[in-house]
């Protein structure tokens, strides 16, 4: 396989179900659709953790969250575990980052880049400290703003993404042609469609909010109940801010608009590649750090291991990548590390031999059809560690101290029927739990996460000090001040 340049595009909070090429009936994503037609679309792609910071640490290092112990949105990637960027730089490849990374802070050499252009990292260098509190449910009052603020308009994120696209196009047209000795990698991190769900007017108006369908199982009587889900809904009361179906539909329309806005920015990058004459010598990898529940089951944002939240879009195109192909083999963000190395012709180090991922280029060409996807969550509003195994038609979700879940995604792609208590499915449940325990000791991992988080809390004055400080709804882009909201005691049982 001939090495080539690689453009990596990572968005934030893009549900795989909200894109034309993934089968959505009304969402307009012409540029992602075109990229999928020119390459391979992975239909069973997952994050390794459904929240920003840990997911991006796994993406950087090619390792699972429990292996690297960047657990949440405060304990962030700090360069202590080698990234694919470190490997490439050591072998003479140019590696540039533009946009959101969500690491500890801007330090290109430490983070695995030659340069970080307008980078976004964890807020104030400390991140989401309130998310470290897991011995009780803490209610984030700012979550109630999600629905009321949604609609048409501009936000600090849409402005930031425009700047990211501009800088990336400039780099592709002016800087990339200077690096012809070895293939380069340009990483571009967009923030949209992450909340706030405020979409530029042009893109919001692509959708008639009055005709948008309500989320699946949104009605209170239809929502599933499980201790983990109930605690998550109380700690992140997004749905409490909604005043009725009209606001729900407007919020979904705004999310659709942000996805189309993201797609437009992706199109600008692809056009810049073409103008620079680099299309035939550059592979393109598109993905997202995690998905978005978007009201399904009454849940918003991420933090669950359902398909909407743990699933992500993943598209690869360029030389040696089959065109117009859909591949159902499970893949995850850790597969990016070997993919990036293979794409540019770099060598893995000896210590990379135990990496859990595999090259998406190989998988697109038919390798490893039978494999599992793994994801885990130990962050904000979680009363326990949760772990997912997806293999074949089944998905198994393990909750520490609580009943598991089991779904047949072939017969029930919307995960409406939990089979964990079905006696007929007991052998499947036990088989998948054994697979999980071969990978890790879930109880030990849960204890390790809590111990690390407790130590981190003490570094910042302990729980009482963090509760007094409050929490924020989203990380501000460069140059924007962090806005904190009060937290309150949980009113639930």
pLDDT digits (tens, 9 = 90+) for 394-441: 999 999 999 999 999 999 999 999 999 999 999 999 999 999 999 999
Rounded to 10 deg, the angle between the 245-275 and 30-38 helix axes is: 50
> What is the SS3 assignment for 115?
strand
State how far the Cα of 463 lies from the Cα of 475, in Å rounded to an integer.
21
Q: What confidence tens digit (pLDDT) does each residue in 353-396 have?
A: 999 999 999 999 999 989 999 999 999 999 999 999 999 999 99
- CB distance 36 to 29 below 8 Å: no
State how far the Cα of 365 lies from the Cα of 291, in Å rounded to an integer.
26
Query: Mean pLDDT over residues 303-319, rounded?
Result: 98
- Under the banding of pLDDT at 50, 70 and 90, the label for residue 489 is confident
388: β partners: 375, 397
- CB distance 383 to 234 below 8 Å: no
Q: What is the DSSP letter of 408?
A: E
Residue with tokens 């000795």: 181
Query: Mean pLDDT over residues 295-317, rounded?
Result: 98
Q: State the pLDDT at residue 337.
A: 98
Q: What confidence tens digit (pLDDT) does each residue in 28-84 have?
A: 999 999 999 999 999 999 999 999 999 999 999 999 999 999 999 999 999 999 999
- CB distance 174 to 239 below 8 Å: no
- Under the banding of pLDDT at 50, 70 and 90, the label for residue 258 is very high
Residue with the larger pLDDT of the pair 203 and 368: 203
Rounded to 10 deg, the angle between the 336-344 and 52-61 helix axes is: 40
Residue 108 C-beta-side C-alpha neighbours within 13 Å: 15
Q: How far is CA 373 from the centre of its chain?
A: 14
State how far the Cα of 442 lies from the Cα of 386, in Å rounded to an integer.
8
Which element (helix H / strand E) includes 186? strand 185-189
The topology (CATH level 3) of 5-365+464-489 is Alkaline Phosphatase, subunit A (3.40.720)
State how far the Cα of 268 lies from the Cα of 162, in Å rounded to an integer.
10
pLDDT of 300 higher than 80? yes
Q: What is the pTM of this model?
A: 0.97
State how far the Cα of 418 lies from the Cα of 458, in Å rounded to an integer.
39
Closest to 208 measured CA to CA, from 171, 253, 177: 253
Q: State the pLDDT at residue 415.
A: 98
Q: State the pLDDT at residue 132.
A: 95
Residue with tokens 């992450």: 194
> What is the SS3 assignment for 388?
strand
């Amino acid at each position: 396989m001939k090495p080539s340049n690689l453009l990596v595009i990572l968005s934030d909070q893009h549900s795989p179900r909200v894109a034309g090429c993934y089968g959505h009936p009304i969402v307009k994503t012409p540029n992602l659709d075109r990229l999928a037609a020119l390459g391979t679309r992975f239909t069973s792609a997952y994050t390794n953790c459904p929240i920003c910071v840990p997911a991006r640490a796994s993406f950087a290092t090619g390792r699972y969250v429990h292996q690297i112990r960047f657990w949440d949105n405060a304990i962030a990637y700090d360069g202590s575990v080698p990234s694919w960027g470190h490997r490439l730089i050591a072998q003479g490849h140019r590696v540039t980052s533009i946009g959101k990374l969500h690491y500890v802070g801007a330090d290109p050499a430490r983070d695995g880049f030659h340069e970080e252009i307008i980078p976004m990292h964890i807020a104030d260098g400390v991140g989401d400290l309130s998310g470290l509190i897991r011995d009780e449910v803490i209610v984030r009052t700012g979550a109630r703003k999600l629905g009321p603020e949604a609609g048409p308009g501009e936000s600090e994120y849409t402005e930031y993404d425009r700047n990211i696209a501009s800088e990336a196009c400039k780099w592709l047209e002016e800087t990339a042609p200077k690096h012809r000795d070895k293939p380069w990698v340009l990483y571009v991190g967009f923030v949209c469609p992450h909340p706030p769900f405020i979409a530029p007017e042009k893109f919001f108006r692509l959708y008639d909010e009055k005709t948008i369908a309500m989320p699946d199982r949104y009605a209170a009587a239809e929502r599933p109940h499980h201790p983990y889900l109930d605690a998550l809904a109380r700690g992140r009361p997004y749905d409490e801010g909604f005043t009725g179906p009209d606001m729900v539909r407007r919020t979904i329309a705004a999310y659709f608009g942000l996805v189309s806005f993201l797609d437009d920015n992706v199109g600008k990058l692809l056009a810049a590649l073409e103008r620079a004459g680099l299309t035939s010598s550059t592979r393109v990898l598109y993905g997202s750090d995690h998905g978005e529940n978007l009201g399904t089951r009454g849940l918003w944002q991420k933090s669950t291991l359902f398909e909407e939240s743990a699933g992500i879009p993943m598209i690869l195109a360029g030389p040696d990548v089959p065109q117009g192909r859909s591949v159902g083999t499970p893949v995850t963000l850790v597969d990016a590390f070997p993919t990036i190395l293979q794409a540019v012709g770099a060598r893995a180090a000896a210590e990379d031999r135990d990496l859990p991922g595999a090259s998406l280029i190989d998988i697109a060409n038919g390798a490893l059809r039978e494999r599992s996807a793994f994801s885990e969550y130990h962050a904000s509003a979680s009363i326990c560690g949760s772990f997912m195994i997806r293999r074949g038609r089944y998905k198994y979700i393990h909750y520490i101290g609580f009943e598991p879940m089991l779904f047949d995604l072939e017969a029930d792609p919307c995960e409406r029927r939990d089979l964990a208590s079905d006696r007929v499915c007991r052998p499947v449940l036990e088989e998948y739990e054994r697979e999980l325990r071969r990978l890790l000791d879930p109880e030990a991992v849960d204890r390790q996460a809590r111990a690390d988080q407790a130590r981190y809390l003490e570094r910042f004055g302990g729980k009482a000090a963090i509760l007094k400080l409050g929490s924020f709804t989203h990380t501000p882009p460069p140059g924007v001040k962090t806005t904190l909201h009060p937290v309150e005691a949980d009113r639930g049982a």
